[in-house]
Amino acid sequence: MNIRRATADDLFGVQATNLQNLPENYLMKFWMYHAMTWPQISFVAEDHKGRIVGYVLAKIDEPEDTDNGAKKAEVHGHVNSISVLRSYRRLGLARKLMLLSQEAMVSVYKASFVSLHVRKSNMAAIALYRDALGFRVAKVEEKYYGDGEDALSMRLDLSP
């Protein structure tokens, strides 16, 4: 198993993995935009034949300028999508992918925290974020998903 930064060549494999694992799917331009704009913070896991078996795709939210010139928010990372193929689960791949992305968010962009959304019924992902990585629930966003399910908005402080 090899875990490394995602490149543009990986994106069809990433998209195929996403389609197998999650109901939230995206057009290729979405994957491409993220990989091109923030190339340091998305990672893939590949098997011995080079097939993508897991990925994390992340972005950076930059502070916006307010009218009085102050910055409105801190620079932070946001995990858009993560998944691991079923037969490769519980091997620590998702945890490793998340940790690599978080490290790069800090070292490259000086991100002060990382956020994400997760379905409130997704016990495996919640256990990963809360128990294995230390995220906390910042708020519940009602009917966030297309089918009406609520999302937990979770956060992890990345400051030293």
Ligand X SMILES: CC(C)(COP(=O)(O)OP(=O)(O)OC[C@H]1O[C@@H](n2cnc3c(N)ncnc32)[C@H](O)[C@@H]1OP(=O)(O)O)[C@@H](O)C(=O)NCCC(=O)NCCS
Nearest approach, Cβ of residue 88 and ligand X (Å): 7
Pick out residues in 70-109 that bind ligand X (CB under 6 A).
82-84, 89-95
| Segment interacting with ligand X (CB under 6 A) among 65-73, 103-111, 123-131, 141-149 | 123-131
Site string for ligand X, 15-54 (x = CB under 6 A): ------xx--------------------------------
CB atoms within 10 A of CB 66: 10
CB atoms within 10 A of CB 70: 9
- 3-state SS, 57-69, equals EEEEECCCECCCC
CA angle 30–99–35, rounded 5-degree value? 20
Q: Does 138 bind ligand X (CB under 6 A)?
A: no
Site string for ligand X, 3-22 (x = CB under 6 A): ------------------xx
Query: Quick one: 45 exposed, middle or buried, by C-beta within 10 A (0-12, 13-18, 19+)?
Result: buried
CA dihedral sign of residues 139, 142, 145, 147: positive
Nearest approach, Cβ of residue 141 and ligand X (Å): 13
Residues that bind ligand X (CB under 6 A): 21-22, 82-84, 89-95, 118, 122, 124-125, 127-128, 131-132
